Amino acid sequence: MAREYHPTFASVRLASEDVAREVPSHLRGGVMYQMFLRMLTQAGTFRAAEELVPHLAEMGVDMVYLCPFTLADDDGDESYWSARQVASGLGNSRNPYRQKDFFAVDPEYGSREELLSLVGALHGAGMRVLFDLVYFHCGPGAVFLGEHPEYVRRRSDGSFQLGSWRFPELDLGNPEVREYLYGNMAYLVREFGADGFRCDVGDMLPVDFWEEAHRRLTALKPDAVMMCEGLRGDDQHEAFDLSYGFYTQWAIREILRGKADAGELRRAQEKELIDYPRGFHWMRCFDNHDYAMDTTMAGGRYEATAGPDACAAMLAVIFMLNGMPMLYNGQEVADDAPHSIFANREHGRLSVNWARAVTPLGRSRLELVRRLTALRHAHPGLFDAPVVWQETSEPSATLAFTRPLPEGWLTLAVNVTGRAGAVSLPEAQSGGRLVLSSAGVELAGGVVSLPAHGFAIVGRI
C-alpha cells in the first residue's frame, strides 16, 4: 500500500494559489552539515568539534546546523522523560531537547569561550552556523519557572500541561513568553554569532510567532536563515526560509528498509507540489539525529542494514533534488556506528566511528561527497529548477529525473534493487556524458547500465 503524505498541521492558505517568498541568495548552491556534538566525537565537546572544522571546509560545507548546547534539564523523574529517552535504557536524564536554561551553555560541551572559539573557527573557514531553538517545551526544572510559573501551560489543578514528549509546554499565548524567547534569539546572535536558527517542531508553534521572530532576526542580521522542522505550507511567507523535506525523507527511509519501491520517491516529491505553495524551499536529508537513533533502536543504521551502495545512491538523490542537501555526522565516511541522542561520554559512549575515514569505503564515500558538493556549488540552479521525472522500463526498480538548468541539464538515474538494471534516456538527452556515478556504470547509446544499487548523473553542462 502506498504511503499517505499530508502536512503535519493545516495551512490557512490554499497551496495552489500561494507562492513562497525568496530566500537569501547564499542558500542557492549551498550544502548543510548537521553537527550533533554528543555523537560527533567521543569527547562530545566544542573543542573536539573544532578539530573537525578543516575537514568540513575541505569537504565544501557551507552551513553547519549545531544541535542544542544550552543547559539541559537534569530532572531524574522519568514521568517527565520522553518515551524514547526511557526506551534508550541509557539512564541519562539530560535530554538536549528538554532545556533548563535557554541562556546558559551546558558544561557537558565545554565553556562559553570554547563555543565562541568553535563558531569563530567555522566563520573563519567560510561557513555559516545555525543554532537549534527548542521553544515548544522546556524542562520541569526550567530556571524561569520560579518567578514565572505562568510561562508554561497548566491543567486546572495547576500541574504542568505536558506535550507530545511529556515535557511542560511553553505558553506562546502569553506575550511575556514570546518576548522572553525573542530576547533569547537576539542573545544568541549578539553573544555567539548565530547566523540563523533551526526551529525544533516549528510547525507546532504559531506561525505569527515565527513571523515576528524572523523580522527581529533579520533586523540584526539581514541574511540570516530560519529552518523549520515541520510541514505546514503557510510559514514561508514571512517566517521560514527552509522546511524539512519530510515527504522525500520518509520515502527514502521506506526504500532503504525495503518496504517501498523506486516509485515511492516520485509519489512523495509530486505530492509536495500539490500540498505546498509554488517555490517552497526544502532541506533534503535521509539521516539525522532522530533517524540515526531510530535505526539504532530498530536494529542498525542504514549503512549497515541497507548497505553503503544504497546509501551512496540516496546521497546522490538528496543532492540532485531541489532544495538544500544536508549531511549528518559522519555520513561522509559511511559511518555505521550506533547513535543515540541520549548517549554521551558518561552514558553509552556512542559516537561516529571516524576510523572509517581511512578505509577504502570511507575514502570512496568522502570523495563522492566532495564531488556532489562541488556539483551543487557549480550549479546553484539545482536549488529551485524544476524536477522533471522520466519514465523507466522498470518503475519499481529504477527512477530517473532531469533538472533543466540555464547552462544545460542534469539527469539522475538510480537502481534501488540488488540486481543490475538500466535506464534509457530520452532522445533529447542522447548527447549527455557521465558526470558522476557509482562504480560499474556504463553509458552507451542513450542507455545507462546500472549495477545493484548503482546511480549515475548524466548531463550536458
Phi, psi of 421 (to 5 degrees): -150, 180
pLDDT for 110 beyond 80:
yes
Per-residue DSSP letter, 159: P
Measured distance CA(90)–CA(347) in Å, rounded? 6
b/e burial code for range 69-80 (CB count within 10 A of at least 16 → b):
bbbbbebeeeeb
Count CB-CB contacts under 10 A for residue 110: 22
Task: Please enumerate in sequence order all residues whose Cβ is within 8 A of that of 349, keeping only pairs 6 or more positions apart, or say none.
Answer: 42, 343
Question: Which residues on adjacent β-strands are paired with residue 424?
Answer: 447
Task: Please enumerate in sequence order all residues whose Cβ is within 8 A of that of 255, keeping only pairs 6 or more positions apart, or say none.
Answer: 261, 262, 264, 265, 314, 416
What structural domains and CATH numbers belong to the chain? Answer: 15-69+109-135+172-383 (3.20.20.80), 388-460 (2.60.40.1180)
Q: What is the mean pLDDT of the chain?
A: 97
pLDDT for 1 beyond 70:
no
Which stretches of 211-304 are assigned E, i.e. beta strand?
A: 225-228, 242-244, 282-284
pLDDT for 58 beyond 80:
yes
Measured distance CA(119)–CA(192) in Å, rounded? 7
Looking at residues 181-210, what average pLDDT do you find?
98
pLDDT for 197 beyond 80:
yes
Tell me: the pLDDT tens digits for 315-352? 999 999 999 999 999 999 999 999 999 999 999 999 99
Candidates 98, 108, 89; CA nearest to 41 is 108
pLDDT for 299 beyond 90:
no
Tell me: the pLDDT tens digits for 60-104? 999 999 999 999 999 999 999 999 999 999 999 999 999 999 999
Tell me: the pLDDT tens digits for 347-405? 999 999 999 999 999 999 999 999 999 999 999 999 999 999 999 999 999 999 999 99
Tell me: the pLDDT tens digits for 394-421? 999 999 999 999 999 999 999 999 999 9
Sign of CA dihedral 400, 256, 253, 292: negative
How many CA atoms, within 13 angstroms, populate the side-chain half-sphere of residue 149?
6
Looking at residues 35-57, what average pLDDT do you find?
98
pLDDT for 171 beyond 70:
yes
3-state DSSP helix/strand/coil percent for the chain, to nearest 5? 35, 20, 45
Cell of 83: 518515551
pTM of the prediction?
0.97
Find out whether 342 and 348 touch, Cβ atoms under 8 Å.
yes
pLDDT for 147 beyond 90:
yes
Count CB-CB contacts under 10 A for residue 308: 18
Find out whether 265 and 248 touch, Cβ atoms under 8 Å.
yes
Cell of 120: 569563530
b/e burial code for range 160-177 (CB count within 10 A of at least 16 → b):
bebbebbbbbbbbeeeeb
Find out whether 23 and 281 touch, Cβ atoms under 8 Å.
yes
Which stretches of 236-278 are assigned E, i.e. beta strand?
A: 242-244
Find out whether 282 and 269 touch, Cβ atoms under 8 Å.
no
The confidence score (pLDDT) of residue 2 equals: 58
pLDDT for 13 beyond 90:
no
